[in-house]
Structure 1
């Protein structure tokens, strides 16, 4: 009986609340409706502005406090993680990003010169090994921090990424004020001090590492196709430590063995991607060497590098659209596989070189965003999709490093310098060609390209 009376009372309350009578039931007040916020649709230009500006903060707001260089990583939830761990390659990306910051008015020219002078002073006094910087340095004193047990010396590839930035600094400020000319000259001296010849071991190839305690024990040759084209170009460009063309043809190009006849989704791969010969490697291979080195019309005796990068990008994109593993939301608006943070089996953050041959369901925003020169329509579509989910995907320094749409949009809410830098730089190269223009106008760079048999007609 009690239950029956409760049901009658409940039905009366429902009927009263749903009545068309204007009289408000006793004890019930009308709540004003919250006005709907207008949907703001950004233009492509506005969207690129937002993404560049927010990503730039990684190299400005979250740089190492002592050196001004780029921290290897930044985790907003644990800002002291990796404190004072400065990355040489990421610092090179930061140098180039700061030039973008000047051009886009994120910082004043005077502020930028002050920060850049601080960074170059740090690099001048940091540990070097036959002119090459280590992969990691201590931001407080410039001492090498071992990258692995045997890697406690020079890292030629990371050094090459840094040198790209130094050459852009040299060119940007060479006609500036007296203070800027000093900065330009210091950048020029720093990069010209790298002894590329040493890293050949007197052989016709370049080697990645040398350590004062382990020598060349890691024994890793720089052979393409991967991210290591730029060390060969810079080694040939060096006025004091140049290499012969044979080092390039035998080392990078394997005397023509680098060429590939593989075709995927209608796109010829053109070059054999080391370890990923079917679909191509992670997309950072189309980014790191080409932040300053302009691939437009860049041709050697083997291939046109613009075609290599466009096709690599479109194979990666087409794979994500085909989505053979059936991952949630993979498609025309959500694509991009490259090396980045990843989700471990225990739900924590790890690292993985994602590619179509190693697809674990992790999308890395840098992959699609940094590919904008090669696939502007597809990149902008991804940029817009990522931004539509900015509440989840965007943090204090731009888009977070990686996410899994299949795992209910799990996000690696952290950043890596080598992933954030190409976003700022390659969007700028697409918009204005700034870094490509600075790097390619350098006289030594042009000499090096000519020496290796390159032609360039952007």
Structure 2
């Protein structure tokens, strides 16, 4: 299922001016082009600002959206996003590791976030999709979506485990913060969200019970939800929930190919080309697909093929959109351009191509197709800087076809950029998450193996 998460107003707080230059990174002349490593560092550092300079001030969490022009939907100023905040936790770990902020600054912010989440609304341990950053109360994502969101919670919990692993052997203060995150994630009642069936359900509401009725069946962005549920030492699930629910009793396997590239798994509603590229990102920010496999897929091949198909589609460019090519590709869910020229939101993919490229699609795919991703980064930075580059990195969406840019940001798009660049450069977040004992046990429980991590 495709989420429609729209993301955050913000203003600068907890300034780290000695570490994060408030001004846009200066561009170099054509004679002094940045190296690939310098360019990646520039993009990672600038994008990190989303989760530091532009976070919601009371909670410290990631705002749902940041609009530099200050034009926001009504009552949207302090809404924080659960899933995007999980990505933000990983981004903060990256920021400390890279020296964008000090360890002390990062720990202070992480402690603030943990204390806020401990008091925020929870529903059988799961947090809602949106939370009011001032009060900690649920902000309904929809009429019936006013309770626990298990998928968003799983993105948040993956970040919590990463933070715990990063801090657990540190100072007394760091160990105390690590313990807070350990207690928070162990409170999620994953088994409750089966509704006594062999499948996990996305939502539960204290008002509407199970009426949303969205079983998590693959393949989409929700693999991490089953991994977290199986890894829980307090409220775990039986492996049957994964194999019968998510994997549809092996019905998840696909024999389809596109451009002579196997899809490997059936992409829900997108079985010809595969779904939007965030499906290759969200679950794999902590979950390392390198050498990871189970009876259904080799997950490195799955994601590399997904990206290759998207890339080949943009090269083919069957709709003849302006700019599409080897240095301008990448279709995923993001802000979009409506037919009347207004800004909307859409799940872009080859089967739903609107002539809108989302920079997060290629940037967050840097781990899978580094050469192709760098071509997009360099093209946007060197040739389209004025219209695509802003306070928190590349803007969310651009259409050369329509001479249009959504000069806005979404947490769920900026987060994967920071995290996947870090994983490409150092592998840090993958190492932290995959070496967590509960994660290893959960993956083994579901039948996964990883030559890289020794199981």
Q: TM-score, normalised by structure 2?
A: 0.92
Match of 2:388 in 1: 393
1:166 aligns with 2:151: no
1:247 aligns with 2:266: no
* 1:265, distance to aligned residue in structure 2 (A): 1.1
Match of 1:153 in 2: 147
- Runs of 4 or more consecutive aligned structure 1 residues displaced over 4 Å after TM superposition: none
Match of 1:40 in 2: 32
Post-superposition CA distance 1:294-337 (Å, at most 9, x none): 01111111110110000000000000011010001100000000
Match of 2:12 in 1: none
1:204 aligns with 2:181: no
Distance 2:348 2:252 in 1: 22
* 1:79, distance to aligned residue in structure 2 (A): 6.2
Distance 1:391 1:39 in 2: 19
Distance 1:397 1:37 in 2: 22
Distance 2:441 2:179 in 1: 19
* 1:66, distance to aligned residue in structure 2 (A): 0.6
* 1:80, distance to aligned residue in structure 2 (A): 5.8
Match of 2:23 in 1: none
Q: TM-score, normalised by structure 1?
A: 0.91
Question: Secondary structure at the residue paired with 1:352?
Answer: strand
* 1:37, distance to aligned residue in structure 2 (A): 6.0
* 1:38, distance to aligned residue in structure 2 (A): 6.0
Match of 2:355 in 1: 361
Pairwise CA RMSD of aligned residues? Answer: 1.1
Distance 2:338 2:114 in 1: 37
Distance 1:37 1:75 in 2: 29
* 1:39, distance to aligned residue in structure 2 (A): 3.5
Q: Pairwise mapping of residues 31-430 of structure 1 onto structure 2 (< 5 A)?
A: 39-78=31-70, 82-388=76-382, 389-408=384-403, 410-430=404-424
What residue ranges of structure 2 are gaps of 5+ in the alignment? 1-27
Match of 1:28 in 2: none
Which has the larger Rg?
A: 1
Distance 1:80 1:276 in 2: 32
* 1:117, distance to aligned residue in structure 2 (A): 0.6
Distance 2:59 2:29 in 1: 44
Post-superposition CA distance 1:26-74 (Å, at most 9, x none): xxxxxxxxxx966420100000000000100000000001100000001
Distance 1:173 1:141 in 2: 28
User: Aligned residue pairs: how many?
Assistant: 422
* 1:103, distance to aligned residue in structure 2 (A): 1.1
Distance 2:168 2:305 in 1: 36
Distance 2:328 2:346 in 1: 19
Distance 2:31 2:348 in 1: 34
What residue ranges of structure 1 are gaps of 5+ in the alignment? 1-35
Alpha-carbon spacing, 1:60–1:320, altered in 2? closer, same or farther (3 Å): same
